[in-house]
Structures are given as structure tokens and as C-alpha cells.
Amino acid sequence: MGADFIIAVDVTSKITTISRNMDLVSYFNQAMNTLAYLTDTRNLNLSDILIHPEIEEYSSSDFDAVDSLIQRGYKATLPYLPELKAMADSSKWSVDYLPNAIDRLNNTVIRKINIRGNRKTRPYIIKRELLLKEGKRWKSAYAQRSLKNLFSTGLFRTVYLTFENQSKDSTDIIIDVEEEKNALFSFGARYDSERKASAFITANYRNLFGTGIDNQLSLIISDLYRKLEWNTRSTRVLTTTFTGYSSLYHKFETVPLYQSGKRIGYGDYYRSGFEFNAGVQVRRVGLTAVGFKLENTQTMENNNYTLYPIKDEEINTASIIGRIIVESTDDPDIPKRGRRNNIVWEHCFTKNELNKMDRILVESTVYETYNDNHTFSTRLKFGYLSRALTQYDRFRLGGVNSLPGYHESELWGNLILAIGIGYRTNLTSGIYAHMLAIAGNVWNSFDEFNWTDMKVGSRIGILIPTPVGPVSLDYGYDFKNRSLLYFSIGHNF
């Protein structure tokens, strides 16, 4: 509130000792007092002077006694007025009070850091996020970053930092946390005109054994795609600054195959694998990581597709992976600001030394909003594949957000380039108009690349946010007399 000197009067009902002769009303009052105790007393220690008037005859159910309680507090304060005035006068701040206080604080040594409220989380998990250290001087900037680090782990609902046992040049610090729930279940569904209906269910168990490790088991089911995955994530590996992520998965996909704009069949394949990555977080919105992947791929023969051979085969591969990820958008569905960057390098090899593959992928989308109503976005996608071990290793292009006017994943190749620009504006409350133009194509190699081969597609449509996810209706056109109507409802997953 900005007050220099605070006098508080405590008129909360007290928790009393339970006795055999308590009646039903007394039990009710006791229950109410117990439930309200923490809330009622949380800010009492912020006062300079605390006065407790005699209010034993009042209970938590005396809702009409506010005026009389105020009078009790006033009368209890009167005898101490001379002393209170003297204390208040002596506590008035001088012009130099705040700079001097900050200087004294910055020269205060932290004797001990105590952790409270961590029923499950181990203390070292909390302390590893702190830039403040025992035996070091206090720094306000370090305190702010420490609190941000603790919140960003996703383990805590609230975090408070307070001082205790302060002396002239040293203090103890109290980190008081309230932990999030450990178990979380979620589910959802989506429909779009290209991929049809799909649904997911996820079970997430946070903070395994109090070590800050998140475990997630997810299942995605659709007409064309099924995936079962178990992954673990830790914002730090033990007490290091490295972030760890691992994934064990099995998926099956049925891919529509197109030639000259017409669907000529479907291709089926299975993939099972394990991947582990360790990296360094950049300001909690970016990740630079390296890792490895072991994968088994099985493809089913399709003789109708003549652009590339698809045959029955099974391939076991091992890969070394490096990646840089940045995710700083302010909304997953309808972002106004921020960026999504994904840079991946992968070197893949098999038992056969001739079957090696190098893959580079660069994806970037940037959002910026002007006057809180006009959102512009830029898009870039570039990828190169030295060779495809199977048809399904190739890059895919086409779809409402990839190349409008074409079916999703209609074009395949070892080299991909697509650039685009988008625009979104709010027509009325809760209804957006959006448009996107993209130029891109795929090629089999750099030798075949030609700027004149770039295909241009655009779309315009309506976007409506709903509790079950955005509803979108778009008309896509490729400037070569090809057009498609796209419809979707639900969150992307």
C-alpha cells in the first residue's frame, strides 16, 4: 500500500482446544476458524506493530459484528498512542533512506538458504535453480532470475522469497514453495479436411521421486496416424546446467500418395525408436542440444506409386543429432508475437556403410502485431537430404499451412524450400480474417534446383477461437487453376 509505518489489529477468531462439552455450533466455528487461519494470518508479519484485542466471545459466524470489532480494536489501541506516535516519528524515511537501504541490502551476506513447503521436491532441485548462494552477497537481479527459474520448471504453483534472522550485515533467506499436482490427465480431438478425425489422451506424472523429472505417456489415434510415446524431461540433469529429454515411441502412418494432383493410393509404414538429447537452455525459451537416436523402420510395398519405389523392407538405423529450438510465441493457437525456430542436423547410418544419410532442416516462423490488431508473420523452411533410405524419409510439402492449393504432403523430395508471409486481423470480437501466401517446391537434389520451378499458393479464410480449439475455414488457390477448401476444428497436436 506504500505506508511507512503499519499498525495492524488482529480480530480473527482463534482456534481453541477441543473439549467434550462443545456443542454443534462450537464445532462449526472451530472448523471455520481452522480453514481461514492461514489466509487470515498470512500478512500479519508485515506489520510494524500488531495489537490483539480481547474478542473471545466472537466467532467466525458473527458476520454482523464488524462495527463492534472495529471499536474493540480502536479501544485496545488507545492506551498505546503516545508510544506508537514516537515509534512512527522515528521510523520516517529520510531522502537517502531508500538508496542507503538498497546499498545495505547489496552488502548483506547470505548465511543460509532454507527451503519450506517442499513436501516432495528434494531441496537440491530447488537450490540448483537459485543464483543466490550461501556465503555470497545478496543481489536483487539474481533473486528475480532465481524466482523465474523456479517458476519455469513447472513444479511449483507459488514461490515466495523472504528474509529471516537479519543482522546488520547478514541474513537467512527463506524459499517458500507450493508444489503443483503430480498427476495430470488430458485429452482432446481434432478434425481437418485433409487428415480427418484424430484424438489424443495424455497422462503426465511430474516430479518423479522428487527429482524434477517429468514423465508423459501419450497416445494419438486417427484414421491415418497412430502413435504411442513415453517421454521424460528434466530442466536440469542432476545439478548441471544441462537439460535432458528422452523419448521411446512406436508409430504407424498411412500416407496419401499423389501424382499430378490425384490421389493414387496410400503408403503404410511403421517406426519404433528411442531418442535421447542433452542440451543447454537459453533464457528458458530456447534449447541447444545434441543426442542420439536408434530407430527401426518397416515399409509396405506399393506398386501404384511410380515417382519413387516403395517396397517391403526393414531398416535399422542409428543417428547423431544436433538441434536448436526456440519457442517464444505468446499463444500456441493464435500467436501475436514471438518466434518458432527449429534447426536440425542429423547424421544417420546403418550396418551397411553405403547406407548413410545426412539431413539438415531449418524452419522459422516469426509473428509481430501492430496496433494490437494487425498481425504479420514470415515463414521459412529449408531442408536437404543427402539420400533417402526410405520413401518416408523425404521432405513433404503441401497443405493449408505449407503450400495452400495443394493437398497435405502432396509433394515429396530430398530438397525443400518454402518462403511465405501471412496476415491476420480481428474482424469483430472473437472472429479473425487471415491470409497466407507461400512460394515453394521440392527437388531431388541441388542439381535439379531452379528458382523458376517455385510454386505459389495462397489462402484466405476465417478463424474463430472456441473452447475446444480454433475453428478455421480457408480457401486455397495455387494460381494454376488449382483450388482446395480446407476446414479444421481443434488444437494442433
Handedness of CA 478, 483, 487, 493 (dihedral sign): negative
| 271 closest CA partner among 300, 235, 291 | 300
C-alpha cell of residue 111: 548465511
Give the pLDDT of residue 284. 55
Name the one residue in this structure whose C-alpha cell is 517421454. 231
Q: What pTM does this model have?
A: 0.71
Residue 325 has φ and ψ, to the nearest 5°, of -125, 135
84 backbone dihedrals φ, ψ, rounded to 5°: -65, -40
Strands 415-428 and 156-164: unpaired
Evaluated on CA atoms 79, 81, 87, 91, the torsion sign reads positive
d(CA 339, CA 378): 10
Label residue 420 exposed, middle or buried (CB < 10 Å: 0-12, 13-18, 19+).
Answer: buried
Angle, CA of 68, 72 and 76, to the nearest 5°: 170
Cβ proximity of 416 and 440 under 8 Å:
yes
Task: List the end-to-end C-alpha distance of the chain, in Å, as a whole number.
Answer: 45
- What's the CA gap between 410 and 442, in Å, rounded? 10
Q: What pLDDT score was predicted for residue 22?
A: 44
User: Counting Cβ atoms within 10 Å, is residue 229 exposed (0-12), middle (13-18) or buried (19+)?
Assistant: middle
Query: How many residues in the chain?
Result: 493
DSSP sequence for 267-310: EEEEEEEEEEEEEEEETTTEEEEEEEEEEEEEE--BSS--SS-B
- Under DSSP, is residue 106 helix (H, G, I), strand (E, B) or coil? helix
DSSP 33-80: HHHHHHHHHTTGGG-SEEE----TT--TT-TT-HHHHHHHHHHHHGGG
Distance between CA atoms of 425 and 153, rounded to whole angstroms?
34
Phi, psi of 430 (to 5 degrees): 85, 10
How far apart CA 412 and CA 389 sit, in angstroms, is 14
* Cross-strand partners of 213: 234
Q: Supply 381's cell numbers.
A: 523452411
Q: What residues pair up with 440 in beta bridges, in sequence order?
A: 418, 455
Among all chains, which residue has been given the C-alpha cell 503441401?
A: 398
- Which phi and psi (to 5°) does residue 339 adopt? -145, 155
Could you report the average pLDDT of every consecutive run of 10 residues in the chain (493 residues)?
65 49 42 45 63 63 60 77 66 57 78 91 88 88 86 86 85 90 88 90 89 91 93 77 88 91 90 93 74 95 81 92 91 92 94 86 96 94 94 93 93 96 92 96 94 95 92 92 92 84
Q: How far apart are CA 366 and CA 331, in angstroms?
A: 13
d(CA 203, CA 186): 7
**Cβ–Cβ < 8 Å for 404, 457:** yes
